[in-house]
Structure 1
Amino acid sequence: MKYMLIMRAVDQAAVDTFENTDFNEIIAAMGKYNESMIEAGVMVDGAGLSDASEGAVVEFGDDDPVVTDGPYGELRELFNGFWMLEVSSKEEAIEWAKRAPLGAGSQMEIRRVTGPEDFPQDNEWIQKEQQWIEEGRVGRG
């Protein structure tokens, strides 16, 4: 099963701690964490995200979509990075999440990633997605 670990800072103290920590220490801690998952054969992908000021939100309603440039939303609504894991269970994903080198005021959300097998196999678009994956036109792993 594939799971996404979503890293969040939920309060300003976590942001302040990050900003006041030597960046080389952060990179080393994350590098060791990533390496442990790679060596265990569970890490599929992962990345950090830039500051919200470099992004935008597109909100959909009854009228045309509304675009809000970053920064946007409350701190706890933003996520700072992610990992994609291929593990045997939600419990295993939780165990990996608990090992992340994050401090107080941080949070890790764990979500199972759906795949074509979760949808009706006779659906035209599910079949097309499977074909795109097989052709390497989109990634799934």
Structure 2
Amino acid sequence: MMNKNYDIPEIYNNYTDLQQEKLIELKQLIMNVANNLGDMTIQESLKWGQLTFSSKLGTPIRIDRFSDSQIGLFVHCQTTLVEEWRELFGDSLDFSKNRAILLSVNSELPIEELTPCIQMALTYHKSKGTKKLVQR
């Protein structure tokens, strides 16, 4: 279930059509992944001027332009997510330090790689809690 629905062209009205198009595709992918996770409420908001998707079980996902030719899927830098994603998809995805997956506005979104990354972010706290229990 989604709360609120922000319009990419309104939020990012100074961005190019191509940047907006990719951000719309990425937003749709995040919503589709969230819907496939079952009974999960996703809060859509603006944080730091970036469109943000949050769930009670996860860490917020933010989407925004990264450069003229790239958009980014950003997560909190103190999570281990980018490190984990780099281990899984280091050969096929580009990253910015411990903050983001970088995506070209000139290429198709790598749905196969992004889907598990989005799932991991939306359930980050749940999975960390499970790992803590397993480690005891």
TM-score of the two chains, using structure 1 as the length reference: 0.29
- Normalised by the length of structure 2, the TM-score is 0.29
